[in-house]
Structure 1
Amino acid sequence: MENIEEHKIGKKLNEGKTKEVYELLGCPGQVLIKSKDQITAGNAARKDQMVGKAAISTKTTVSVFRLLQDAGIKTAFEKQCGETAFVAANCHMIPIEWVCRRVATGSFLKRNPGVKEGFKFFPPKMEMFFKDDANNDPQWSKEQVIEAHFNCGGLQIERCEVDIMNRTTLAVFEILEKAWATQDCTLVDMKVEFGVCASTKEILLADVIDNDSWRLWPLGDRSLQKDKQVYRDLKEVTPEAMQVVKRNFEWVAERVQNLLVTKSSKRVVVIMGSSSDLGHGQKIKQACANYGIPCELRISSAHKGTDETLKIKAEYEGDGVHTVFVAVAGRSNGLGPVLSGNTTCPVINCPPISADWGAEDIWSSLRMPSGLGCSTVLFPEAAALFAAQIFGQFDHLVWAKLRANILKNWISLKQADKQLRNM
């Protein structure tokens, strides 16, 4: 963590209810976002000082952005700077709040009479609100956002950009929802904002994501809520009540640290039929690294050394580490079937198909004897992806990378289509 004193702070660029944005001299394209000890509700109709809130909010925001960045979500966050500030890419903010809801509560119930609190949305419900304090941030439709013709930092916000922000909001919500579930907490809803990076002109998740940004119910119980709603619900603001609010914020800031780690252990073990398959195996290992999955390479032939293959297999059973075996064997693939018939671990065939006999060899991986359940993929990247999907069922960090990758692929296609239409 750097200290604020290490930076030359320039003029104040912007100030909101809970933060200030400063120019960073000598750091073109970057700004300093400094949190304040102020807590507000109802567009600042209620506001109070909560000593220590700036540090608590910064701790929460930094952890959330690190989680999202590690997953592969593009954000404006750069690095923490002292206890109450962080450095971010300078962004021209898009004046829309994106809200994603899993559970109906709060203002949604007021705007949709007849819907009971606790109604769950599948998929999550997306809403947009135009940032206009004077008019209490009115709800906008997607069409209104498109027709507003915002130009932020030289980027025209059109249908493509609106769709990208919509999809990104959903991905961010689902990643954080999955992460909070590991702490037995329900992420009820959340709001995010986006900006256009001044230097790259790309849309980035920006602003802050802290305990003001969501509703969080431990054990799915509203009465245990730990978010800012506790402050909103106060009939009278007393020192004792503010201490309760502060303890809730501290609880979240501590728990959010747990979202950055996983307790589950995992590995992929690639067993190759011969040393000639090493190049293929190395590609699988490299692809596994993209998902944060440890990978080991071994060599054994199920035909020439069946007993040794089973000994190697046994080395990875019984130590409590979740294991996926990948069998890399060309010609007649006996390796995958032998492994599958003698372990409860998932087995993936990924044969290194040759140009000469590939069409014939592949059948030895596809036609399994009855009672065996090997899957078969042809590309090393696909083997790593399949393994990641298995681990992602119980490891939220792997799942987050998978979810972010789905978003990345979708955005890439969306932007390519826009480019084509503009030619």
Structure 2
Amino acid sequence: MTKTNYDNAVIEQGNLKYEGKAKQVYLTNQPDILWIHYLDQATALNGKVKETIIGKGEINSKISHLLFTYLEKHGVAQHYLKTVSQTDELVQALQMIPIEVVSRNFAAGHFVSHFAVPNQMPLHPVVQEFYYKSDALDDPFINDSQILALGFASPDELAVLRQQAQIINDLLGQLFEQVGIRLVDFKLEFGRNTAGTIILADELSPDNMRLIDQQTGHSLDKDVFRQHTGDVTVGYREVLRRLEQVI
């Protein structure tokens, strides 16, 4: 879809498509365009813990806009179209693939507990993992043969998911390295456009990344909320400040 036909997209009353952990997604008067509203909300334990955090939605919206813009400039096809307010944006409507693609550059979180390895141990090669996107099932791990058997993606599409995740990991890793941040791991989601092409979707923010300040070792992501170690927006604002200097 060309990016020339979305200026008149508006939300029609009652058109909330769904509400996620940190965003609301609305249908618009144009069937191929969705309206995304970022919420001032943080969650943990797959939504079981929830808290209002004033200003978080605006910060995440700005970070996501910057990162999508950066990736697009480097040839990564993605769904972002236009920012319409401090907390709202327009995106292409996609047929979402119910798979979360996780890239791990360093050991953290469940990888540490599952394999009894040191936290922040470098991982070579980069570890890629798939998870079935289902809140009801707590997003279980899913392997290639399970994905194929369930019809979530074809073999060729799985190859595209892996390739795109690696390209995005390389690009984001270089960007964050430039601003003194370690990209530990992160989650991506993808969808098919009307031509059947797989493109990047969802959001790109500290909500779905682990980011570590290279000088201090402090978390700049949602682990601060998960572990109750401070004000989560402090790290988010620092990520935004640094990215604004280079994008």
Q: TM-score higher than 0.5 here?
A: yes
Rounded to whole Å, the distance in 1 between the matches of 2:107 and 2:246 is 24
1:271-350 paired onto structure 2 within 5 Å: none
In structure 2, do the counterparts of structure 1 residues 36 and 170 end up closer, same or farther at CA, with 3 Å as the change threshold?
same
1:214 lines up with 2:201 in the alignment: no
Rounded to whole Å, the distance in 2 between the matches of 1:106 and 1:221 is 19
In structure 2, do the counterparts of structure 1 residues 84 and 6 end up closer, same or farther at CA, with 3 Å as the change threshold?
farther
1:181 equivalent in structure 2: 177
TM-score, length-scaled by structure 1: 0.55
Q: Is the 8 A contact 1:19 1:34 kept in 2?
A: yes
Question: Which of the numbers 159, 166, 190 marks the counterpart of 1:163?
Answer: 159
Rounded to whole Å, the distance in 2 between the matches of 1:221 and 1:193 is 30
Question: Which of the numbers 210, 220, 226 marks the counterpart of 1:226?
Answer: 220
1:406-421 paired onto structure 2 within 5 Å: none
In structure 2, do the counterparts of structure 1 residues 220 and 213 end up closer, same or farther at CA, with 3 Å as the change threshold?
farther
- The amino acid that maps onto 1:139 is F
Task: Report the CA distance between 1:255 and its aligned residue.
Answer: 1.6
- The amino acid that maps onto 2:94 is C
- The amino acid that maps onto 2:63 is T
RMSD: 1.6
Rounded to whole Å, the distance in 2 between the matches of 1:142 and 1:256 is 35
Rounded to whole Å, the distance in 1 between the matches of 2:113 and 2:141 is 13
Rounded to whole Å, the distance in 2 between the matches of 1:135 and 1:50 is 26
1:275 equivalent in structure 2: none
Q: Is the 8 A contact 1:100 1:173 kept in 2?
A: yes
Rounded to whole Å, the distance in 1 between the matches of 2:246 and 2:104 is 20
1:196 equivalent in structure 2: 192
TM-score, length-scaled by structure 2: 0.92
In structure 2, do the counterparts of structure 1 residues 183 and 201 end up closer, same or farther at CA, with 3 Å as the change threshold?
same
Task: Report the CA distance between 1:6 and its aligned residue.
Answer: 6.2
Task: Report the CA distance between 1:216 and its aligned residue.
Answer: 0.7
1:125 equivalent in structure 2: 127
1:110 lines up with 2:110 in the alignment: no
What is the DSSP-based 3-state SS (H/G/I as helix, E as strand, rest coil) of the residue aligned with 2:220? coil
Rounded to whole Å, the distance in 1 between the matches of 2:106 and 2:216 is 12
2:141 equivalent in structure 1: 139
What is the DSSP-based 3-state SS (H/G/I as helix, E as strand, rest coil) of the residue aligned with 2:42? strand
- Would you say how many aligned residue pairs link Structure 1 and Structure 2? 239
Rounded to whole Å, the distance in 1 between the matches of 2:216 and 2:106 is 12
1:101 lines up with 2:104 in the alignment: yes
Q: Is the 8 A contact 2:17 2:25 kept in 1?
A: yes
1:246 lines up with 2:243 in the alignment: no
What is the DSSP-based 3-state SS (H/G/I as helix, E as strand, rest coil) of the residue aligned with 2:182? strand
Q: Is the 8 A contact 1:186 1:220 kept in 2?
A: no
Q: Is the 8 A contact 1:180 1:259 kept in 2?
A: no
Which stretch has the larger CA shift, 83-92 or 115-124? Answer: 115-124
- The amino acid that maps onto 1:149 is G
Rounded to whole Å, the distance in 1 between the matches of 2:246 and 2:125 is 23
In structure 2, do the counterparts of structure 1 residues 17 and 125 end up closer, same or farther at CA, with 3 Å as the change threshold?
same
CA deviations over 1:267-309 (Å, ceiling 9, x no partner): xxxxxxxxxxxxxxxxxxxxxxxxxxxxxxxxxxxxxxxxxxx
Task: Report the CA distance between 1:215 and its aligned residue.
Answer: 0.7
Task: Report the CA distance between 1:7 and its aligned residue.
Answer: 4.1
Judging by fraction of residues, say which structure has more strand: 2
Q: Is the 8 A contact 1:78 1:86 kept in 2?
A: yes
What is the DSSP-based 3-state SS (H/G/I as helix, E as strand, rest coil) of the residue aligned with 1:168? helix
Question: Which of the numbers 64, 67, 70 marks the counterpart of 2:70?
Answer: 67
Rounded to whole Å, the distance in 2 between the matches of 1:163 and 1:143 is 13
Judging by fraction of residues, say which structure has more helix: 1
Rounded to whole Å, the distance in 2 between the matches of 1:132 and 1:106 is 19
Structure number with greater CO (CA < 8 Å, separation at least 6) is 2
In structure 2, do the counterparts of structure 1 residues 193 and 220 end up closer, same or farther at CA, with 3 Å as the change threshold?
farther
Gaps of 5+ in 1: 151-156, 236-240, 261-423
What is the DSSP-based 3-state SS (H/G/I as helix, E as strand, rest coil) of the residue aligned with 2:164? helix
Rounded to whole Å, the distance in 2 between the matches of 1:141 and 1:183 is 34
Task: Report the CA distance between 1:253 and its aligned residue.
Answer: 1.7
Gaps of 5+ in 2: 1-6
- The amino acid that maps onto 2:21 is K
Which stretch has the larger CA shift, 205-214 or 10-19? Answer: 10-19
Q: Which runs of 4+ in 1 moved over 6 A?
A: none
Task: Report the CA distance between 1:35 and its aligned residue.
Answer: 0.7
What is the DSSP-based 3-state SS (H/G/I as helix, E as strand, rest coil) of the residue aligned with 2:189? strand
- The amino acid that maps onto 2:214 is L
* Rg larger in structure: 1
